[in-house]
Amino acid sequence: MSWHQNCTWWHVYPLGFCDAPLQNDDAHAPVPRLRHLLNWLDYVTELGVGGLLLGPIFSSQSHGYDSVDQFQIDPRLGTMNDFDDLIRACKDRGLHIVLDGVFNHLGNQHPWFQRAMNEGLHGEYASFFRINWDDPWQPRADVFEGHGALVALNHDNPAVAEYVSNVMKFWLGRGIDGWRLDAAYTVKATFWSHVIPTVRAEFPESWFVGEVIHGDYTGIVARSGIDSVTQYELWKAIWSGLWDRNFFELGWSLRRHNDFLNDFTPLTFIGNHDVTRIASLVGPEHAVLALTILLTVGGHPSIYYGDEQGFVGIKEHRFGGDDAIRPAFPKSPADLAPWGAWLFRVHQQLIALRNDRPWLTTAQTEQIVLTNEHLVYRTYSTTSDDSITVELDLRNSATASIRDGYGQELFEYVAASILAGD
């Protein structure tokens, strides 16, 4: 069985988690903020997850998705020595690490882009970017979704494919286990299908998950050669079903999810660095129901840091609108507020339930009861007789229960009792 087959992730946005300044100031020496994560690795293992899914850590202009050097740690986070120590500490605990690879675009202050604009059409790096040279006095570079600081790479250039392959292999050689491919949906599948085999030739156990918000998930996986994509369809159906008190969208999405699982295993989540916190969307009581769904259907589940403590935060579409969902964590777990402890215990219980049943990664679901406020589904192994039955009920209060194939209760949650500390 591959190492990632039964791996649940703790997803962290390091620049926020480590309380780094919002802007990179090259005038200052590196600050070893990345070591802040070392204080939390025992907490991660106590939670029960198998790895860290880290947001951008490479040298960048501001939020990390505007890279200026993808072979160096961002000085706001520290140095290569800090990174190497993090890798060693994770390996000592059996934790895997996946890094965020921003390969659709670079920051507009990247030296290669600056040279391209200064040297013109025939410069060494002119073809590394998608630049319209029709007006030699005012060339225009393609940018990512209207963000002027994020200049698009030219993925038709073989040199760009070689560059991306070299970045991937460099960090895999330093001990990481795989890559999250940022904005993978904007890059031609043929680009990934060329790059990934060259990487796997040296690192055959490497794992690749593409950020895909909507579209033909199965087709993208088949054409690109990546292993997984982000399951935004299921995320939307989970929170909106609880918000609207209407499980029919979730029922439809679970059927779609079955189809995806026939061909690949999606990365599933109820929170990440780009969306409003689940506790803000549906409240902490209903967040447990969302978590129950996440951990009882097929997929590679990801827990966004802080969700296990009931953190709140609303995504806003403005400058700085991500700050609330990318907060700093305190010095150590002992410094956490006590009000999130109950939700942490619920996470531990459900993650342990899943870890004991590795067949859940590729399991299918069948719906037994589906009404607006009542959903019962059976999740079953495709290779054995193992199964569990999950019941979610919104009719009186938020309740959830899980039973094994023999009818034995594995988990029960009633919002009022949990909140009362029972």
Interval 1-29: pLDDT, tens: 688 888 999 999 999 999 999 999 876 79
Q: Any idea what the Cα angle at residue 226 is, between residues 238 and 156, rounded to 5°?
A: 120
Please state which of the ranges 186-190, 319-323, 359-363, 411-415 shows the lowest mean pLDDT: 319-323
Question: pLDDT value at position 22?
Answer: 92
Is residue 380 within 8 Å of residue 298, measured between CB atoms? no
In a domain, 391, yes or no: no
Helices (H), 58-188: 80-92, 111-119, 158-173
Measuring CA to CA, how many Å separate 14 from each of 17, 77, 383?
A: 5, 8, 38
Q: Structure tokens of 59?
A: 């040298």
**Which residues are CB-neighbours of 346 under 8 A, at least 6 positions away?**
288, 291, 413, 418
Helices (H), 5-63: 14-17, 41-47
Question: pLDDT value at position 300?
Answer: 98
Q: Any idea what the Cα angle at residue 335 is, between residues 331 and 338, rounded to 5°?
A: 150
In a domain, 59, yes or no: yes
In a domain, 259, yes or no: yes
Q: Any idea what the Cα angle at residue 305 is, between residues 304 and 306, rounded to 5°?
A: 110
Q: How confident is the model at residue 416 (pLDDT cuts 50, 70, 90)?
A: low
Q: Is the pLDDT of residue 422 over 80?
A: no
Question: pLDDT value at position 417?
Answer: 47
Q: Is the pLDDT of residue 145 over 60?
A: yes
Question: pLDDT value at position 1?
Answer: 65
pLDDT tens per residue across span 108-138: 999 999 999 999 999 999 999 999 999 878 8
Question: pLDDT value at position 397?
Answer: 86
**Which residues are CB-neighbours of 262 under 8 A, at least 6 positions away?**
none
Question: pLDDT value at position 421?
Answer: 34
Question: pLDDT value at position 138?
Answer: 87
Mean pLDDT across the stretch 374-386? Answer: 97
Q: How far apart are the two ends of the chain, measured CA to CA in Å?
A: 39
Question: pLDDT value at position 77?
Answer: 98
In a domain, 383, yes or no: no
Question: 130: exposed, middle or buried (C-beta count within 10 Å: 0-12, 13-18, 19+)?
Answer: middle
Mean pLDDT across the stretch 347-364? Answer: 98
Task: Could you list the beta-strand ranges (E) of 240-373.
Answer: 267-269, 300-304, 364-370
Q: Is the pLDDT of residue 374 over 70?
A: yes
pLDDT tens per residue across span 40-78: 999 999 999 999 999 999 999 999 999 999 999 999 999
- Look up the CATH number of the domain holding residue 45: 3.20.20.80
Full domain range(s) for residue 181: 9-360
pLDDT tens per residue across span 389-413: 999 999 988 999 999 999 999 999 9
In a domain, 390, yes or no: no
Q: Is the pLDDT of residue 419 over 80?
A: no
Q: Is the pLDDT of residue 418 over 50?
A: no
Is residue 349 within 8 Å of residue 300, measured between CB atoms? no
In a domain, 393, yes or no: no
| β-bridge pairing 300-304 and 267-269 | parallel
pLDDT tens per residue across span 237-269: 999 999 999 999 999 999 999 999 999 999 999
**Mean pLDDT score of the chain:** 95
The CA distance from 277 to 326, in Å, is 10
Is residue 268 within 8 Å of residue 361, measured between CB atoms? no
Q: How confident is the model at residue 420 (pLDDT cuts 50, 70, 90)?
A: very low
Q: Structure tokens of 214?
A: 């909507």
Q: Structure tokens of 195?
A: 């790059």
The CA distance from 413 to 346, in Å, is 9
Mean pLDDT across the stretch 269-285? Answer: 96
Q: By C-alpha distance, which of 99, 78, 77 is closest to 90?
A: 99
In a domain, 119, yes or no: yes
In a domain, 180, yes or no: yes
Q: Is the pLDDT of residue 303 over 80?
A: yes
**Which residues are CB-neighbours of 226 under 8 A, at least 6 positions away?**
181, 184, 192, 196, 208, 209, 210, 220
Domain count of the fold of the chain: 1
Is residue 240 within 8 Å of residue 251, measured between CB atoms? no
